[in-house]
Copies of this chain bind each other. A is one copy, B any other.
Amino acid sequence: MSVTTHLKSLQALEMAIREGSLKAVADRLGITPAAVGQRVRSLEDYLGTDLLLRGRSGLKPTAELEHSLKDLHMAFAALVRVTESLDFQRVSEIHIVADPDWAELWLAPRIDGFREEHPHIQFCINGAGDVPVRLGTPDIRIGFSDAQDEPLFSDLLVPVTGPDNVRRIADWDPVMQMEGLPLLHLQAQRDDDDCPGWVEWFQTFGHRKTGPDRGVHYKHTRLALEAVRENVGFLVCGLSLVLRDYESGSIVIPFPVSQHLKAPHPYRLKVRPDSEKRPQVQRFVAWLRNAAGDTRRQIEELAAQSDTDQTG
């Protein structure tokens, strides 16, 4: 019996007939329409027959293909069943312990992308998630741990505020702009010597001389940011934790990013040696490195932009 070649072409063909347009297929496959066209053409060239009538409204199979359509659809339906069945059987848990702020504000909004691709991987992050806690050490730890652990990215601490506050700021005295403004703080900024806040920021960049430690103290950055979004006041906070809010405009960075404090430690990743071998963990770590790389790049970009561009 002969062996089927051009599997990808056949798949593209089958989908094209079901979807009715190459563009739709391209979207489903996550490639460009040109690539889909090439897949189909490659098979047509190989066979020396047209298979797809690229008509004005939609696509139709040619007579040659018509005979095979049933088998074609059947084959790929069966393959979908196979992969889905195999997919469901590979359920696997990943247990993570991470800095709570980072987990809530950086990881949580990003992890959905990973989970879509890997619906079979279940998470337990800081005790919560798809699966209950497990005894023993977690598969992955992220925080400000040993200097020998792999760094993910180094954060910059910048003032942030709500979108309404920034409209007012323009009117203020440019030298003492923030005198008397409502400041928000994190408890760690008061309790932890390693966690710079408004006190250090005003020391470095000025803008205010009095009461740099006055104002509400929040335990979790998430709650502080919620207040910020509602224009309650100004907070010094890790840039990485507000990138999405900043992009959507729900949070504003009122000063050039060049006016930042460097976080004393980078976020660091530690994978339990035992877990390192599991392909699911490997995949997640690869994804994590990648996403962290994106964030690093975004931070660098913002810092670089603000050197020249003085809008805030």
Contact = CB atoms under 8 A, between A and B. Distances in A.
Contacts of A68: 81-82, 85-86
Interface string A47-78: 11101000000000000110110011011101
A11 interface: yes
A65 B120 CA distance: 16
A87 B6 CA distance: 13
Contacts of A4: 11, 76, 79-80, 82-83
A83 B121 CA distance: 36
Contacts of A84: 2
A189 B79 CA distance: 64
A29 interface: yes
Nearest to A74: B78
Contact of A45 (B78, B87, B279): B279
B11 A29 contact: no
A170 interface: no
Interface string A81-99: 1111111011010000000
Nearest to A46: B279
Contact of A64 (B11, B29, B78, B90): B90
A161 interface: no
Nearest to A89: B64
Given A4-B76, A4-B79, A75-B82, A90 B11 contact: no
Interface residues of A, number: 48
Nearest to A72: B82
Contact of A29 (B3, B51, B279, B283): B3
A1 interface: yes
A280 B83 CA distance: 36
Contact of A75 (B6, B29, B44, B76): B76
Contacts of A7: 7-8, 11, 79
Contacts of A90: 47-49, 64
A209 interface: no
Nearest to A73: B78
Interface string A245-267: 00000000000000000000000
A71 B67 contact: no
> Which 4 interchain pairs have the tightest Cβ spacing?
A75-B78, A48-B279, A7-B7, A71-B78
10 contacts: A3-B29, A7-B8, A47-B90, A48-B120, A49-B89, A49-B90, A67-B85, A71-B81, A72-B78, A72-B82
